[in-house]
Amino acid sequence: MRTKKLIVGVLMVVGCLTSAMAQDTHFSQFDAAPLYYNPALAGVNECHNRIYTNYKGQWNTYSTFLASYDQPLEKIQLLGGTIGLGGLVVADYAGENSYGNTQIKFMPAYHYSIIPGTLRISAGLDAMFDLMSISEDKVVLGGGIDPITGESTAGTDFEHTKRFYYDMGLGLNFQYNISPQFPINAGITFFRLFGSGGGGIAVASSDAESNYRRFSLNANAVYPINTRLTLLPSFIYTNQKMYNEMNIGTYLKCGIGDFTPLIDALYVGSWYRVKDAIILGVMFDKPINKNWTLQFGFSYDVTVSSYRKSDKWTTGKNVKGDSFEFSLKLLNCRLPIVVNPEGIVNDPFR
């Protein structure tokens, strides 16, 4: 059994090194990481400032943290449109922190109203700077395992333990307002246009074909059922060479501010990641003063694919391939938040 676990550990480290140059991090709460999926959303909202943070834990092996900030540059007008600016940091760790990947992104965006109040188009750039690193003294490879006793010896000698590279992406987003309370968003983003960073960490070569270009499609809407209930459907599709992921589902928002002073609105929802998992989510928001609103979310991925049955994830510390996420949002809106018995009148999430 001990030898089996060590072999699994080796496979996981090798997998980390391979996936580092093959597939980017993904979030189940993709609506809580809008800039990560489309830079055109920087500064697109009706608030002075947005601060988002996300934490993802997966299989007790992978940990990911994201923090983003964006705002409109209200004093800058360009060709009849407005400018938004955003940035984010993503820190990804795996293999008991032996592997680390940190990305810093800067995202300028341009927003133009084709039909004021009805149709708006946005375009944004995704300027990425990436640093990958690995701790040689924490890595156990096949040669470090005694085939008889199963004893392991950590440590190896890679040609390189760090790699820095940069790349660029481009995003587009369209917003169409069927009514002021019923907006629909749809966008497309192309990431890693230069294909930089290929080859991983441990080798000197940089092969663009090893670091696959990625594109994603995003869509969401706000559909008011009545003064208390609102549907928030969302969709995202991501492709990175042979990797495909599609999530679709919705939150149901319920205004409960007239029942309890603790929170203003409660959200419950679920999404289906095609051929992989069911995502269950809960969220609430609460005005903390006349300008700022706080929103906290939690989600849990229940793996429903055959991967859940793999012995690799039913032993040791892993929890059958499931993962979880936390998100925290802070929004500072232009207008003071007005609350009546039905909830927030000028809802910043619309």
- What is the per-residue pLDDT across 309-341, written as a single tens digit (0 to 9) for each? 654 544 445 445 578 999 999 988 765 444 444
* pLDDT number for residue 206: 52
Handedness of CA 271, 272, 277, 278 (dihedral sign): positive
Mean pLDDT over 196-224 rounds to 72
Residue 295 in this model has a pLDDT that exceeds 90: yes
| Band of pLDDT at residue 87, cut at 50, 70 and 90 | very high
Residue 97 in this model has a pLDDT that exceeds 80: no
Residue 281 in this model has a pLDDT that exceeds 70: yes
| Band of pLDDT at residue 241, cut at 50, 70 and 90 | confident
Alpha-carbon distance 280 to 346, whole Å?
A: 28
Closest CA to 27 of 251, 271, 308: 271
Alpha-carbon distance 237 to 37, whole Å?
A: 10
Q: How many helices (H) and strands (E) does the chain have?
A: 2, 17
Could you tell me what percent of the chain has a pLDDT over 90?
Answer: 43
- Select the more confidently predicted residue: 316 or 139: 139
Give the model confidence (pLDDT) of 6-27 as tens digits.
Answer: 333 433 343 444 444 446 788 8
- Output Rg (C-alpha) for the chain, integer angstroms: 22
* pLDDT number for residue 48: 84
- Residue ranges and CATH numbers for the domains of the chain are 2-344 (2.40.160.40)
Residue 83 in this model has a pLDDT that exceeds 70: yes
Mean pLDDT over 295-303 rounds to 92
Mean pLDDT over 204-212 rounds to 56
Helices (H), the chain: 2-20, 34-37
